[in-house]
């Protein structure tokens, strides 16, 4: 069976939520968001090890959380970087050599479910790259700079890309290194691999997989997970 390592991107400070702590540490239903998130992966036999890339000020807090909630698959909590890309790359450098696939997931996406992760793992085994996503449901408009509609965008085949994003270890580590040498900053790990010509399959999420971004998402999380 393939060896799968999960990287949790938890190096941000969650400015847009307006909370006084990074959103991944906000407690909902008695557990920090990051625990809700990791528990889904921890409970899957397909996941072998977990590396958390964390903001430097929260490393000891994260280690305490890992111990308190008995998350046994976490092998390291490392210092992240000043961008998500750097946080992920630092974790990639810590993944063990015998890992076949690397899963990259945002700490701030606590509603992920095992079914979406499993189907994404299967999709990644075909071309080496896959990402969970959601088809765009709303009608899309383009506007001018003054917010007047200029046209309607055809939404066929348009997706909101989420996480986890899953890659063969050699592909993702090679593409991250190329981005560093080419001095390119990408918004997600798919973009890093797209750039160098890799085909990436999209796995349709079978759950709400919202990323907690602003204060309304915190209310949503409390409504879904319970206060
Ligand atoms: N992230 C990270 N390292 C960074 C920045 C972000 O690992 N330097 C992580 C965040 O912790 C989060 C995920 O990437 O789990 C998605 O990023 P985002 O939603 O932008 O989170 P923040 O950067 O924390 O929030 P904000 O942009 O509002 O400050
Ligand atoms: Mg951010």
H or E element in which residue 179 lies: helix 169-182
* CA–centroid distance, residue 27 to ligand 2 (Å): 20
Regarding the beta carbon of 193 and ligand 1, being less than 6 Å apart is answered no
DSSP 13-27: --GGG--SS-GGG-E
d(CA 110, CA 133): 15
Ligand nearest to the CA of 15: 1
d(CA 59, CA 226): 27
* CA–centroid distance, residue 151 to ligand 1 (Å): 32
Structure tokens at 87: 């946080």
Q: How many CB atoms lie within 10 A of CB 169?
A: 20
34 band by pLDDT with thresholds 50, 70 and 90: very high
Read off the pLDDT of residues 3-28 as tens digits, 9 standing for 90 and up.
999 999 999 999 999 999 999 999 99
Read off the pLDDT of residues 37-47 as tens digits, 9 standing for 90 and up.
999 999 999 99
Backbone angles phi, psi at 171, to 5 degrees: -65, -50
1 band by pLDDT with thresholds 50, 70 and 90: confident
Residue 210 has pLDDT above 90, yes or no: yes
User: Would you give the distance in Å from CA 203 to the centre of its chain?
Assistant: 14
Regarding the beta carbon of 84 and ligand 1, being less than 6 Å apart is answered yes
């Amino acid at each position: 069976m393939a060896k799968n390592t999960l990287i949790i991107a938890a190096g941000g400070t969650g400015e847009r939520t307006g909370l006084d702590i990074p959103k991944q540490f906000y407690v909902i239903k008695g557990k920090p968001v990051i625990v809700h998130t990791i528990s889904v992966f921890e409970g899957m036999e397909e996941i072998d090890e977990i590396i958390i890339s964390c903001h430097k000020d929260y490393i000891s807090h994260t280690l305490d959380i890992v111990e308190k909630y008995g998350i046994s698959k976490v092998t390291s909590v490392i210092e992240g970087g000043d961008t998500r890309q750097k946080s992920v790359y630092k974790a990639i450098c810590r993944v063990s050599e015998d890992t076949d696939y690397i899963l990259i997931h945002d700490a701030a996406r606590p509603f992920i479910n095992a079914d979406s992760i499993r189907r994404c793992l299967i999709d990644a085994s075909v071309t080496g790259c896959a990402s969970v996503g959601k088809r765009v449901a709303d009608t899309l408009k383009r506007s001018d700079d003054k917010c007047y509609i200029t046209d309607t965008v055809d939404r066929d085949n348009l997706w909101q890309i989420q996480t986890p994003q899953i890659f063969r270890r050699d592909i993702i580590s090679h593409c991250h290194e190329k981005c560093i040498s080419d001095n390119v900053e990408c918004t997600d790990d798919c973009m890093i691999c797209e750039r160098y010509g890799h085909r990436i399959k999209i796995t349709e999420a079978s759950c709400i997989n919202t990323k907690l971004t602003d204060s309304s998402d915190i209310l949503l999380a409390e409504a879904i997970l319970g206060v």
